Every structure is written in structure tokens, then in C-alpha cells.
Amino acid sequence: IDINDATNLGTAVALTTGGGTVNFASTIDGAQNFDISSSGAAVTITGTIGGDVPLATLDINDSSGAGAISLKDIGDTDTQGVTGTSNIGNDTTLTLDLGGTTYKTDAVTYTTKAGENIDLTGGSDTTFTTSNDAITFGTGTLEMSNGSNLIIDTGTGGGSINLLGGVMGTSSENITLTAGTGTVAIGAIGTGSEVADVTITSTGATTFSGDFNGGALTNSGPVIVSSDVDIVSTGAVNFGSTLDSN
């Protein structure tokens, strides 16, 4: 399936290719459910999703299919791109390339197979935003390309941030996580000089389940260590509340 023009959804749409690629070369808009299933074939969307009229839900190979997925922006500065739940990929998805800088959704899960397979490639600050809803990066490790600093903000309510596969960088990228009253869970962060400063702001607990290698580390709320963790920092380490293990 190859669609080169702007797409407007007039009704709920479910695309199933049975192994053929899916390519959208322009924008996708419309207050409808949008579901893509491509089995082992790639899905590429190079235009903004929901930049003018937000989608109701967005699911891409959410239950099966190893095909690589490549997305540009979801929403823009003024518009939330999806108003309902989104599920992008599954634990067999080869890679997920996020080449935009804005991902503004409701609750969302981005998933690939294990390894450094969730790639931020926009080359500048890359922001994931919800209004008090959870953002989850499942199974795969998130890797920031050169200059693609990671910013996640789930609002002031209870939207959790889940990065259990960990976060790696390329050339000292920064990580900024803001979860309001929500919790944060994160695996290993950085190796060598891949990651610079990490700032986590939340009144909920942050659970670390992997080693930290980076610059300064700041966490405003309670900290829980769920396994043996080594912290190797070239900057200050500040925990603003309690420190416990489980």
C-alpha cells in the first residue's frame, strides 16, 4: 500500500497487508480509529499524524508482526495527534524509528524486540507529551541519536513513565522526565559518554533497575532500587527524597 497524498479518515480504517509494505508519504488526519497490520513488512509514515485533526486511536502491528516501523511526528505544537490509546509495535518488531521531534498523544506504548531498537533520529530535542496519561517504551532499549535529547512530560497528574529497557545515547544527549504525581521506571542509562545530564521530576517513586553512566543525575522524588545498581557520574548526583530497595 503506497499513498502519496494527504489522507483524511472519514470512518474507522483497518489496513491488513498480509506481508506487503505500507507507506504514507504525507499527513494523516481524522477523528477515527486507525489500525495497520503488515506482518513482517515495513510501515513508513513520513507525514505528521493528527496534526490538523487528531485521530481517535492509533495501532500499528500492536499484536504481532516483525516489520520495522518508521514514524515522523504525532501531533504538533498546538494539536494532540491522538485522543485515545495508541499501541505502536510489539515485542517482535525489528526496529521503531521515530524521526520527528513531537509525539503528543493520549496513553501510548511503543514496543520493539529487546535491544537498542527504539531509535530517536530527529537530531534535536524530541518531546513525548500526554495530559496525565502513561507513556511506555516496552521491551526494546531507547537510543538517542546525535542531538536527539529525550524529553517526556506526562503532565501534573498520575501519568507514569516506563522505560524498563533503558536509554542509551550517542554523543552526550540529555534526558528530562516529568511525571507529575506519576511514577517513573527506568532500566540502564548510558555507557561511557553516551548520555549527559538526567533530570527526573515527580512526586511519585522512581524505580531504577539498571546501571547509570552519564553526567549529572537529579531525581526529585522517592527512589527505589530494584536490583544492584552502579552509578558512574561525571556530575553531581542529587536525590531529593527517600532511597529504598525492593
Residue 86, pLDDT score: 98
Distance CA 71, CA 91 (A): 17
DSSP state string for 101-159: SEEE-SSEEEEESSSS-EEE-SSS-EEEE-SS--EEEEESPEEE-TT--EEEE--SSS-
Residue 57, pLDDT score: 98
Residue 220, pLDDT score: 98
Residue 77, pLDDT score: 87
Q: Which three cell numbers stand for residue 149?
A: 535529547
Residue 18, pLDDT score: 85
Residue 87, pLDDT score: 98
Spatial contact of 144 and 121, defined as CB atoms under 8 Å apart: no
Residue 29, pLDDT score: 98
Give CA separation, 100 vs 18, 59, 95, 178, 238, in Å: 27, 18, 15, 20, 31
Tens-binned pLDDT, residue by residue, of the chain (246 aa): 999 999 999 999 999 998 999 999 999 999 999 999 999 999 999 999 999 999 999 999 999 999 999 999 999 989 999 999 999 999 999 999 999 999 999 999 999 999 999 999 999 999 999 999 999 999 999 999 999 999 999 999 999 999 999 999 999 999 999 999 999 999 999 999 999 999 999 999 999 999 999 999 999 999 999 999 999 999 999 999 999 998
